[in-house]
Structure 1
Amino acid sequence: MRLANVSLSILLVALISGCGEEKVDGRWYTQSQVDRGKTVFLESCAECHGRSAQGTFNWRTPLEDGSYPPPPLNGSAHAWHHSLDMLMRTINKGGASIGGQMPAFEDELSDDDKKATIAYFQSKWNKRIYEAWLDRGGL
Structure 2
Amino acid sequence: MFKTKALFGVLLVALLSGCTEGTVEGRWYTQVQIEHGKTVFEENCASCHGTEAQGSFNWRKRLEDGTYPPPPLNGTGHAWHHPFDMLMGTIAQGGAPMGGQMPAFGDVLSKDDQKAAIAFFQSKWDKRIYDAWSERSGL
TM-score exceeds 0.5: yes
Aligned to 1:25, the other structure's residue is in SS state coil
2: CA distance between counterparts of 1:42 and 1:118? 12
Equivalent in the alignment of 2:43: 43
Kindly report structure 1 stretches of 4+ aligned residues shifted beyond 2 Å. Answer: 18-21
Aligned AA (1:109) = L
Q: Does 1:105 align with 2:105?
A: yes
2: CA distance between counterparts of 1:33 and 1:76? 22
Q: Does 1:90 align with 2:90?
A: yes
Aligned AA (2:64) = E
The two structures, once aligned, show a CA RMSD in angstroms of 1.1
Equivalent in the alignment of 1:136: 136
Aligned to 2:25, the other structure's residue is in SS state helix
Larger radius of gyration: 1
What TM-score results when the alignment is normalised by the length of structure 1?
0.85
Aligned AA (2:55) = G
What TM-score results when the alignment is normalised by the length of structure 2?
0.85
2: CA distance between counterparts of 1:20 and 1:103? 31
1: CA distance between counterparts of 2:132 and 2:19? 27
Offset at residue 120 of structure 1 (A): 0.2
Q: 1:64 to 1:29 in 2, by over 3 A?
A: same
Offset at residue 23 of structure 1 (A): 1.0
CA contact (8 A) 2:19 2:29 kept: no
Q: Which runs of 5+ in 2 are unaligned?
A: 1-17
2: CA distance between counterparts of 1:26 and 1:127? 9
Deviations 1:22-64 (A, max 9, x none): 2112200000000000000000000000000000100000000
Q: Which runs of 5+ in 1 are unaligned?
A: 1-17
CA contact (8 A) 2:19 2:30 kept: no
Identity of aligned residues (%): 70
Equivalent in the alignment of 1:28: 28
